[in-house]
Amino acid sequence: MTEQQDRIMDGDLQTLGLQSVLKMLALSEKTGKLFVYSGPETLSISLRKGKIVGLHEDGVVQPDVLGMLCLMNKLDPPRAQMIREQARGDMQFALALLVERGWMTPTELQRRLEFSITQAVSHALRWVNGRFAFHRQLVPLETRMQPLDVDSMLLEALRQADEWEKIGSEGLSYLTSATVVRWQPEVRRDVANIGLSRESIEVLCLCNGEIPLRAIALVLMLPEARVARVMAHLLELNLIEVVDTALERELQEDLSNIIIRCNTNLTRRRQSTPEQHLLSLITTLSECINELLIHHGTYARGLRGRGQLSPAERARFLERLFSRQLQSLAQQQYPILETATFNYGLLDCTDVLTLNKLVKGEQLEEFYWEAVQGLSAFLSMVFSELLRDEVGNSHTGHQITVAWRVFLSEVDHELQQYRLYRANKNVQQSRGYAAQPSSPQLGVVQNWGSLAGTEGDLWSPDSQRRLI
């Protein structure tokens, strides 16, 4: 009952638009909170004596303003992380903390808070369906923003809304407030010499964070329509591309699953003798390479938009892309890789895996060790090319790279254990100890930690993860 008494105005946006509602509240100098609803989105505007003193949006992902300021070189990452931990997702509080520490001026804080309100109201002015309700007893809390005049705010919000309406007539309807773009794979940070305006360079820098158009406009305090036109120009110059966010999620999930499976196989297949250990590494590395090849046959940039392709076409594409790299490794460093071939777009290591039918003893172990090193190098080449082509030098690429480095650290750990074993065996032989049997039950492989202890703690899995 109290809530009904406190609600002194409500209605349908089709009957009374948001612009008219705000003007009425401003003229009557009302104090309270206006709620505007449209689908999953809710806008709550706090007023004190007819002036706006705060605004909050529900149903909209809050942008990482601190991260964007870092991309613009206006804030360094350590400071941003410190503020982020204290603010806990509250953008206004984060900006206030920047002012307290002297990393932002009070004037800039006021401008940013005013722009965020104007931008949100500009969006709400375009809502066709929805409702509103004003509650007078919900007195707004004091904020660091100076009260904002409704008329001046509405004037700018309407101008931004009108500019956005023109975007469609200019043939830019493919760009929306939620559009995400990123750099093309070939683009690097040094773009100052290609004749771009400062505004275009700032938009380009933010594009590499894979940030929605609306968030870019917010951090630059530019109308969204202007940012859309800048993006269109950058697209024409082939500096950026529009991200298919659904495809991006699939791609990222598929790669993450591959890394998890390969890491699981690496751990599960640890063997007790050097020969068996190397053979299990060859199996795991070749399987990981083939999983990445299968993945790339689905998500490669060169295959997108070409419709339904036959397995043979995908296989030819993959072989053209990676066979030269394999041949180069075989000719320059690891001749054993000449026995590995591509078969229907996948790497076939059968000849390597069945070497024990032709070779025995230390010679077999040497061949296996060379194969492990060669496949490890080829695996890194395949992943680097795959990532460069599919997501480029982007935020998504950096996230996947972190997970990939953790997996590679585990591979490096396995390789280092074998190197330590070889070094230990060579030392024993040089001191005149009797030669070991060709396939000893290696305490050295089962107890890598005790052997690695002779070289310090550097190569333990935990220390590898800490380094990452």
Using CA atoms, how far residue 279 sits from 106, 429, 460, in Å, is: 65, 24, 22
Average pLDDT value for residue range 64-89: 88
Q: What percent of the chain has pLDDT over 70?
A: 87
Express each pLDDT in 119-133 by its tens digit. 999 999 988 889 999
Angle of the 395-430 helix axis to the 245-268 helix axis, nearest 10? 20
Give which of 345, 371, 354, 368 is closest to 293, Cα–Cα.
345
Under DSSP, is residue 130 helix (H, G, I), strand (E, B) or coil? coil
More confident residue, 195 or 436: 195
The kind and range of the H/E element at 58 are: strand 51-58
Token match 């940070």: residue?
189
pLDDT value of position 91 = 82
**DSSP line for 324-383:** HHHHHHHHHT-GGGGG-EEETTEEE-HHHHTGGGT--HHHHHHHHHHHHHHHHHHHHHHH
- The Cα–Cα gap between 356 and 438 comes to 13
Q: Are 244 and 305 spatial neighbours (Cβ–Cβ below 8 Å)?
A: no
Tokens, residue 138? 């919900």
pLDDT value of position 427 = 80
Q: Are 378 and 436 spatial neighbours (Cβ–Cβ below 8 Å)?
A: no
Q: List, in sequence order, every residue forming a beta bridge with 348; answer none if it has no partner.
A: 341
- The Cα–Cα gap between 285 and 382 comes to 12
More confident residue, 179 or 460: 179
Q: What percent of the chain has pLDDT over 90?
A: 37
Contacts 24+ apart (CB under 8 A), 339-343: 340/286, 340/375, 342/315, 342/318
Q: What is the pTM of this model?
A: 0.69
- The Cα–Cα gap between 372 and 368 comes to 6
- The Cα–Cα gap between 273 and 281 comes to 12
- The Cα–Cα gap between 348 and 340 comes to 6
More confident residue, 114 or 195: 114
For residue 467, name the pLDDT band (cuts at 50, 70, 90): very low
For residue 141, name the pLDDT band (cuts at 50, 70, 90): low
Using CA atoms, how far residue 42 sits from 63, 123, 150, 457, in Å, is: 17, 11, 19, 55
Express each pLDDT in 427-443 by its tens digit. 877 776 544 444 443 43
Q: Are 36 and 130 spatial neighbours (Cβ–Cβ below 8 Å)?
A: yes
Question: Over 50: is that where the pLDDT of 285 sits?
Answer: yes
pLDDT, averaged across the chain: 83
